């Protein structure tokens, strides 16, 4: 699944820099671990507790994700790795580049990406965390979105890293996936995709309402025609009977 900005790190030797992580690599992917724990008790458990129990060592931060500049999110020098700490430094939200964008092959970019491999980080805005405290079902839905993202974007047998940030409604608004052989980031695509789904859903509902209204009007028209035809038939029959009697 391509999120708009893709580079083949394998060509640049990213695989050769992951030996330390590979030595302690887990045989199963994040998604497989989650599937194995899917049946665990979730009643009365906070989102953070669910996340930490499913994905051991996951980084969880509560930050105002609306401050993230989606235009800067896709730069090679964006500090995605700053979210892989707990607590993360709030200054990352206002990050701006200090110079031209470095090449993907640069050592500093390699070092940053390598530091994310084998890890997972989730960033939740304060509004969403508060909502999830009061709405357990919402917390479960957000957890399902994390699981689904990992299932969709992870490759079994590969050592990968994942970063997801959410908006106040519990939707993913920024993401980053790094692994041996690939690197993808996305921000506006998630927002635009969600808006497109909502617009399409609204359009379908409108079309359904219009279709139902047209069907109802057609049924009424058919009933009226049938009623009028019966009146004409009855009138003709009455006239016929009258003529017979007069004869």
For residue 229, list its beta bridge partners: none
Confidence of residue 67 (pLDDT cuts 50, 70, 90): very high
Task: Give me the pLDDT at residue 183, please.
Answer: 64
Confidence of residue 70 (pLDDT cuts 50, 70, 90): confident
To which residue do tokens 């993230």 refer?
68
Concatenated DSSP letters of 169-221? TS-EEEEEEEETTEEEEESHHHHHHHHHHHHHHHHHHHHHHHHHHHHHHHHHH
> Residue 59 belongs to what H/E stretch?
strand 59-62
Asked if residue 133 has pLDDT above 60, the reply is yes
Collapse the DSSP code of 50 into the 3-class scheme (helix H, G, I; strand E, B; otherwise coil) and give the result.
helix
The pTM assigned to this predicted structure is: 0.62
Task: Give me the pLDDT at residue 118, please.
Answer: 92
> 96-100, 171-175, 200-204: which range is least confident on average?
200-204
- Asked if 174 and 187 touch (Cβ cutoff 8 Å), the reply is yes
The CA distance from 81 to 112, in Å, is: 6
């Amino acid at each position: 699944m391509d999120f708009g900005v893709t580079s083949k790190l394998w060509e640049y030797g990213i695989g050769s820099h992951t030996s330390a992580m590979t030595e302690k690599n887990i045989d199963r992917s994040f998604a497989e671990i989650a599937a194995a724990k899917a049946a665990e008790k979730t009643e009365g458990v906070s989102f953070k507790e669910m996340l930490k129990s499913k994905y051991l060592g996951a980084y969880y931060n509560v930050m105002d994700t609306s401050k993230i500049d989606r235009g800067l999110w896709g730069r090679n020098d964006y500090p995605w790795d700053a979210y892989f700490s707990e607590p993360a430094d709030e200054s990352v939200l206002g990050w701006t580049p200090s110079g031209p964008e470095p090449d993907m092959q640069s050592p500093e970019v390699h070092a940053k990406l390598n530091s994310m491999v084998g890890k997972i980080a989730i960033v939740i805005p304060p509004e969403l965390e508060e909502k999830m405290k009061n709405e357990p079902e919402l917390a479960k839905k957000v957890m399902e979105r994390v699981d689904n993202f990992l299932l969709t974007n992870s490759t079994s047998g590969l050592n990968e890293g994942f970063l997801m940030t959410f908006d106040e409604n519990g939707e993913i608004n920024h993401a980053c996936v790094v692994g041996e052989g690939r690197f993808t980031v996305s921000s506006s695509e998630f927002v635009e995709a969600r808006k497109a789904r909502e617009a399409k859903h609204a359009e379908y509902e409108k079309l359904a309402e219009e279709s139902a209204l047209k069907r109802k009007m057609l049924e009424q028209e058919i009933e009226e025609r049938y009623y009028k035809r019966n009146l004409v038939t009855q009138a003709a029959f009455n006239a016929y009977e009258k003529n017979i009697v007069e004869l």
